[in-house]
Amino acid sequence: MKFSFNQVCGFSDSITLTFRFVKQEWKSLLKSFVWIVLPLVLVDLFLKNASTREMFAMMVYSSDTDLPPQMLINNLLGYCSSILLYAWITWMGIAYIRVYQNKCAAGNGESVKPGEVWQVMWQHLGSVFLWWILYFLIVCLGVILLLIPGIYLAVIFFLTVYYMMLKDRSLGEAMSDSRSLIKGKWWHFFAYIIVLQLIVGILSYVFAIPYQVVTFKTMFVQELPGMYELTLCLLFSSLGQSLMQLIFVVGIAVRFYSFLEEKEHTGLLEKIEQIGNNDQPVADREENH
């Protein structure tokens, strides 16, 4: 365990630390992703595959007709599945960081296991599920009033779930703490989210290239792609986007801890305590033991 989240870091340093942590933990992260997230990715793939094939069929055979009701239903199911998958990846990523932090605090050098991550997710099942529903309603209300209030509220309460899972705050306390932590840093945090999402989006686009090739091929050749060809392209794209979203979750966690360190100086207090323990006379330490 060589990585410490409890440190103050700048804008670009936060992104650098994000990729450093992912590089260090990629094996354990990938293992947890396969066991916890991959099943939902496959469900999402099944729903998107149906709507995508219908879209390609309309592109080839009946581009001038209105969208059939079944296609609208499939698109709606695919959209809901994508939202659920996003929330699930965020949930899993934060739980992984919680387990990692606990191991660091206990001096445990073992790698994080999927079962440990799932246990943390299960412990916060009710509160996190309630929060996602409330967060969705808050942002939708802000968008209905005007787009700007929706964006403002989304950023203000963005760190609520991090407080709930990493600091064991209740829903009300987490919302209040998130608002307090972002106070005076709204534009800074908003810019960080945009930049991090752009980086993740560019990396995700690499995984979407095969699907884009199939799309252009269908448009120019006017022939439907094979079932296996389309499925593999969608799977590759979905896996890439999901893995990149996990990087986004880690990046937000790095910024969260940086803001928290500025406010509470947790890492500094830990270092002072360690120095005090190291300076304690050997005889005293042996007597204590």
Among 2-6, 267-271, 282-286, name the one with the lowest average pLDDT. Answer: 282-286
What is the per-residue pLDDT for 96? 96
What is the per-residue pLDDT for 267? 52
Domain count, the chain: 1
The 10s digit of each residue's pLDDT in 168-200 is 999 999 999 999 999 999 999 999 999 999 999
The 10s digit of each residue's pLDDT in 82-113 is 888 999 999 999 999 999 999 988 888 889 99
Average of per-residue pLDDT values in the chain: 84
Query: What pTM was estimated for this model as a whole?
Result: 0.85
Q: What percent of the chain has pLDDT above 70?
A: 86
Q: What is the 3-state secondary structure (H, E, C) of the chain?
A: CCCCCCCCCCHHHHHHHHHHHHHHHHHHHHHHHHHHHHHHHHHHHHHHHHHHHHHHHHHHCCCCCCCCHHHHHHHHHHHHHHHHHHHHHHHHHHHHHHHHHHHHHHCCCCCCCHHHHHHHHHHCHHHHHHHHHHHHHHHHHHHHHCHHHHHHHHHHCCCHHHHHHHCCCCHHHHHHHHHHHHCCCHHHHHHHHHHHHHHHHHHHHHHHHHHHHHHHHHHHHCCCCCHHHHHHHHHHHHHHHHHHHHHHHHHHHHHHHHHHHHHHCHHHHHHHHHHHHHHCCHHHHHHHC
In a domain, 288, yes or no: no
Round to whole Å and give the CA distance between 159 and 166. 10
In a domain, 2, yes or no: no
pLDDT tier for residue 283 given thresholds of 50, 70 and 90: very low
Model confidence at 40: pLDDT above 60: yes
In a domain, 3, yes or no: no
What is the per-residue pLDDT for 88? 93
Instruction: List the domain range (segments joined by +) for residue 42.
Output: 11-279
Model confidence at 276: pLDDT above 70: no
What is the per-residue pLDDT for 287? 47
In a domain, 46, yes or no: yes
